[in-house]
């Protein structure tokens, strides 16, 4: 049976917020029904996560793991504590953590949301800076649009 670790922030829940992702919600239910699912969080305490999960009736996971130190080193440290659990897959929203996990021998699925992914994380990201003239033209165009927008005209 597949054993998976789902990172709560960025897969199931929006980082630093109460909202959930619909895709993560569906994935949670599918994995909870068909695998051994563990949740890992570095932002909220176990009590905070338990309350958030209880409000949403999410109880299909086997355990909750807290990552005390943020970033790739903290993630690896937390995963190493459970290496004997024979985890088959880590669902990871952070590319730097995913890279570290792959290097450490973890099977990792990078899970991204199109609307919330930082631009530099996208595979199609072009790191070349925009030319100054393009930036200046964009600002001038926005100013022109703002000044000619009838919703912002002075009312007599």
pLDDT of 71-105, one tens digit each? 999 999 999 999 999 999 999 999 899 999 999 99
Q: pTM score, two decimals?
A: 0.73
Q: Which of 125, 121, 110, 124 is nearest to 11 (CA)?
A: 110
Which of 50, 117, 87 lies closest to 78, judged by CA? 87
Domains of the chain: 3-127 (3.40.50.1000)
Q: What residues form DSSP beta bridges with 33? A: none
Give how far Cα 106 sits from Cα of 7, 75, 79, Å.
14, 11, 9
Query: What's residue 3's pLDDT?
Result: 95
What's the mean pLDDT in 16-39? 91
Nearest CA to 93 out of 40, 49, 51, 29 is that of 40
Does 119 score more than 70 pLDDT? no
Sequence length of the chain is 156
Residue 81 CA to residue 40 CA, distance in Å, equals: 12
pLDDT attached to residue 145: 85
Q: Are the beta carbons of 88 and 109 closer than 8 angstroms?
A: no
């Amino acid at each position: 049976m597949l054993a998976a670790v789902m990172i709560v922030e960025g897969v199931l829940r929006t980082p630093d917020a109460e909202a959930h992702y619909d895709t993560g919600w569906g994935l949670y239910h599918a994995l909870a029904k068909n695998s051994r699912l563990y949740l890992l969080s570095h932002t909220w305490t176990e009590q905070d996560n338990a309350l958030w999960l209880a409000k949403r009736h999410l109880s299909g996971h086997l355990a909750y793991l807290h990552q005390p130190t943020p970033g790739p080193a903290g993630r690896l440290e937390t995963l190493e504590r459970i290496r004997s659990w024979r985890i088959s897959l880590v669902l990871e929203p952070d590319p730097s953590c995913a890279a570290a996990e792959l290097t450490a021998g973890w099977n990792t699925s990078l899970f991204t949301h199109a609307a919330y992914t930082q631009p530099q994380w996208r595979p199609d990201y072009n790191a070349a800076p925009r030319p100054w003239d393009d930036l200046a033209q964009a600002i001038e165009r926005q100013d022109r649009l703002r000044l000619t927008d009838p919703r912002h005209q002075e009312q007599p």
